[in-house]
Amino acid sequence: MNIRTAWEGHGRIALVTLPLLTLAALAAIVILMNFRADQDEANRRIRIADQQIAISHVISEAALEIAAGDGVDDTIRNSLVMLDRDHYGLRYGNAALGVSGEHSATAERAFAAVEPVYDELRSVADRLAAGDESAAPAVVDATGAFRGSMAGLRSLLVDDASKRSATLLRVEVVMLLLAFLTTVIVFILAPEVKRRREEHRKLSRPSRPDHLTGLIRRDPLAERLQYAIARSAKLDEYASVLVVDVDGLTEINQRFGHAAGDRLLQELATRFKEVVRASDTVARLEDDRFAILIEGNHRAEDSGRVAEKLMAALELPTAAGAHELHPSVSIGIAVAPLDGTHPDDLLENAEVAMVSAKQLGGDTYQYYSPELKALTRGRLEMLDGLRRALSSDKQLRLAFQPKVDLRSGKVTGAEALIRWSHPEQGEILPGEFIPFAEETEVILGLGEWVIERACRQVAQWDTIGLDQLQVSVNVSARQFRNGDLAEVVAKAVADAGIEASRIQVELTEGALVDDIDRARETLAELQELGVTVAIDDFGTGYSSLSYLKRFPIDALKIDRSFVQELSPNSNEAAISTAIIALAHSLDLEVVAEGVEQAHQLAMLEELGCDTVQGFLFAKALPPADLEAFVGMASSPNAAAPRLGGRYVPSY
Ligand code: C2E
Ligand code: CA
Ligand code: CA
C-alpha cells in the first residue's frame, strides 16, 4: 500500500469517526457541567452544616451566661432565626442559599435522625428566649446533642461530595482524551477534506476543452485514464497512453507563420480522431503534444499498431497556404499495468518514450522501458555536468587538428575541436555530448566559449610567429539560427586583438536551409566582418547545390564517409569528383576530412582537392603539439613527416 492510499484509507475512517466523537464530546460537556453544579451545591451544604454548628455554639454560650445570672437578651432569639432559616433551607431547599433540598438516601436518613434533636433544641430554646431562665441548662444540653448529630450529618455530606469530585475527575480525564483524539483526527482529516473539495471542484467545473482543437486537456484525460486503468485491471486487459509530439512545429511556425501551425494542429486532431475507436480518447497536452488513451486491448503490442496507424494518417500532406506540409510525429507508448498504474506515472513514462523516439530522429514510435528512463536521467545529468563545466572553465579545452595544403605541403589551418574531461567519467568525446547540448540552450554557451578560446589561441600563436594559421570553429545549427553569431565572433575577435580573417566558421547544410533569408543575412554579416565560412560534412545533408551559389561561402568540407570509401570507380569517387569540380567552378576551396590512408590522399590529389585533414597527418592535438607539428611539416629536410611526397601520421 503506498502512502497515498494509506492516507485515503485513514481519511475515510476519520470521516466516519469525527461526527461520533463530536457528539460524545458534547455529551461529556453537558455531563461535566451538571457534575460541576452538583459539586458546588454539595460544598454549600457542608458550609451550611458548619454554620449550624457554629450558631448552636453561640446559643449554648448565651444559655450558659443566662444560667450564670445575666439577663435574657436578643442573642438567643436572633440566633434562633438564623438557625431556623439555615436548617430548613438545608433540609427542604432555599434558592437564596443555593441548595435544592434533594438528598441522597443516606443523607435523608441522617436528616431524619437530626430532626427530633433539632425539635428538642427548638422547644427549650424558645422557652429560654421567652424569658424562662430555668430552661438554660436544658438548652446547653440540647445544643450539645444537636452539634453531635449535625457533625454526623456533615461527615455524610463530606463523603458524598468527595465521591462526586472523584467522578468529576474521571469525566475530566475522559474529556481531555476526547479532545486529544478529535484534534488528531482533524489533522488526519484536513488533507482528505481538501482533496475531496478539489475533486468536487474539478467535477463540478469541467475543465474547458482546448480552444484550438476542441480536444480535452490534461486534467480530464488523467481522470479518464484513472477509470481506464481500474477497468482494464478488472477485465484483465491493457490500457495504454500514446504521447504524440509533432516534429519540428517550431520551424513550421517560423517558416509559414503561426496560423499555418495552428491549422496543422487542427488537422492532426481531426486525423487522430478518425484513426482511433470512438471509445478511445484524444487529448491535447501542450502546444505540439497530443495524448491518446486506448482501452480494451488484449495484447500490449496492440498500441504499437495504433501508433503505426497514426503515423500512416499523416502520409497525406497538409496545406500551409500555397505550400504543402509533410508533418511527422514522434510517439511514446506506456501500457498499464506494465508501465505504471497511476495516471501521472503512465503519462510521464509515455513522455519519456516520446523523447526517446524524438532522439532517434522523429517520425517513429517507442515503447517505454525503465532503461529509457535511466537514459533520460543520464541525459539530464550530462547537461547539468556541461553547465558546471562551462562555469568552472577547468574541464573543457580545445584540441586542434591540422589542415594541410596539398600543393605546398604546409599546414595552413587547424580545426578547433572541443574536449571535455569529466571529473568522474574522464574524457568524453564531443559526439557524446554535443547532440544533447544542441537540444538545449547549453550549446549557445558552449559555442561562445569555443569561439572565444579559439580567438585567444590565435592571438597566442601570433606571438610565436604562427601568424598564417587559420582556425576553424564548429558552429551548431541552433547557434547559427540564434541570430547573434556575427556579434559573438566580432566581440571575441576584438577582445583577442586578432584579424577576423584568421577565424573560419564551419556550418552544416542543415543550419543553412532552415530559414534561407535569415541564413543569408547572418552569412553576409560574417562576410562583412571578414570571417570565412565552410560547409561541414558536405554531401550528407540536403546537398542542394543550388544554394551554394546564393550564399557567400568560402569552402566545402567533403564528409569523412565519402573519403573513407574512396577507391577508383567507386560511387564515392564519382561523388567526390563531382563535388570538387562543382566547388571549383564556384571558386570554393575543397577540404577533404577524415583522410586516413595514403591511397585516399593519392586519389584526392588526383581529383584536385585543395586541402586535407585526417589521422593520416595528425589527430586533434593540444596547442603545443600542433606547434611542433607545424614546425616539422614546414621543415624541408627528411626528418619532416614526408614519405615519398606524402605525410605520415606523427601523432
Ligand atoms: P566534425 O566537425 O566533422 O569534426 C571532425 C571529427 O572527425 C572530429 O571528431 C575529428 O577528431 C574526427 N576525425 C578527424 N580526422 C579523422 C580521421 O581521419 N578518421 C576519423 N575516423 N575521424 C577523424 P570529434 O573531435 O570527436 O568531433 C566530433 C564532432 O563533434 C565534430 O564533427 C563536430 O560536429 C562536433 N564538435 C566537435 N567540437 C565541436 C565544437 O567545438 N562545437 C560544436 N558545435 N561541435 C563540435
Ligand atoms: Ca567540423
Ligand atoms: Ca565534418
Q: How far apart are CA 110 and CA 446, in angstroms?
A: 103
| Nearest residue (CA) to ligand 1, atom 3 | 537
C-alpha triplet 389, 391, 392: angle, nearest 5°: 65
Predicted TM-score (pTM) above 0.75: no
CA 377 remoteness from chain centre? 14
Q: How far apart are CA 262 and CA 212, in angstroms?
A: 7
Instruction: Tell me the CA–centroid distance for residue 398 and ligand 1, in Å.
Output: 12
| Nearest residue (CA) to ligand 1, atom 4 | 417
Measured from the alpha carbon of residue 534, the closest ligand is 2
Instruction: Tell me the CA–centroid distance for residue 506 and ligand 2, in Å.
Output: 6
pLDDT computed for residue 84 by the predictor? 87
Measured from the alpha carbon of residue 620, the closest ligand is 1
pLDDT computed for residue 207 by the predictor? 67
Q: Specify the amino acid at residue 57.
A: H
| Nearest residue (CA) to ligand 1, atom 16 | 594
pLDDT tens-digit profile of 555-601? 999 999 889 888 877 887 888 888 898 899 989 999 999 999 999 99
pLDDT computed for residue 6 by the predictor? 47
319 φ, ψ (degrees, to nearest 5): -95, 140
Task: Provide residues with CB under 6 Å of ligand 1.
Answer: 401, 417-418, 429-431, 434, 447, 450, 474, 476, 536-537, 560, 593-596, 614-615, 620
Instruction: Tell me the CA–centroid distance for residue 535 and ligand 3, in Å.
Output: 9
C-alpha cell, 477:
545549427
Atom of ligand 1 nearest to the CA of 593: 15
Measured from the alpha carbon of residue 505, the closest ligand is 2
Beta-carbon contacts of residue 360 (< 8 Å; ≥ 6 apart) = 330, 366
Instruction: Tell me the CA–centroid distance for residue 506 and ligand 3, in Å.
Output: 8
pLDDT computed for residue 82 by the predictor? 87
Is 243 in contact with 250 (CB distance < 8 Å)?
A: no
Is 270 in contact with 531 (CB distance < 8 Å)?
A: no
3-state SS string for 120-180: HHHHHHHHHHCCCHHHHHHHHHHHHHHHHHHHHHHHHHHHHHHHHHHHHHHHHHHHHHHHH
| Nearest residue (CA) to ligand 1, atom 21 | 594
Beta-carbon contacts of residue 572 (< 8 Å; ≥ 6 apart) = 561, 562, 563, 565, 566
DSSP letters for 23-89: HHHHHHHHHHHHHHHHHHHHHHHHHHHHHHHHHHHHHHHHHHHHHTTPPP-SHHHHHHHHHHHHHHH
**Over the chain, what is the mean pLDDT?**
87
Measured from the alpha carbon of residue 541, the closest ligand is 3
Q: How many Cα atoms within 13 Å fall on the side-chain side of residue 409?
A: 16
Beta strands in 209-328, from DSSP E residues, in sequence order:
238-246, 281-286, 289-297, 318-320, 323-325
Instruction: Tell me the CA–centroid distance for residue 560 and ligand 3, in Å.
Output: 7
CA 620 remoteness from chain centre? 42
Helix (H) or strand (E) holding 235: helix 218-235
Atom of ligand 1 nearest to the CA of 479: 44
Residues in the chain: 651
Tell me the Cα Rg of the chain.
51
16-23 long-range contacts, CB within 8 A, separation 24+: 17/185, 18/182, 18/185, 18/186, 18/189, 21/178, 21/181, 21/182, 21/185, 22/182
> Is the backbone of residue 182 left (phi > 0), alpha (psi -120 to 50) or beta?
alpha
Residue ranges for the chain with pLDDT beneath 70: 1-15, 199-207, 541-545, 634-651
Measured from the alpha carbon of residue 475, the closest ligand is 1
Instruction: Tell me the CA–centroid distance for residue 536 and ligand 2, in Å.
Output: 5
pLDDT tens-digit profile of 348-379? 999 999 999 998 889 999 999 998 888 878 88
pLDDT computed for residue 346 by the predictor? 95
C-alpha cell, 110:
441522617
Instruction: Tell me the CA–centroid distance for residue 300 and ligand 2, in Å.
Output: 44
Is 343 in contact with 222 (CB distance < 8 Å)?
A: yes
| Nearest residue (CA) to ligand 1, atom 19 | 594
pLDDT computed for residue 544 by the predictor? 65
Instruction: Tell me the CA–centroid distance for residue 285 and ligand 3, in Å.
Output: 38
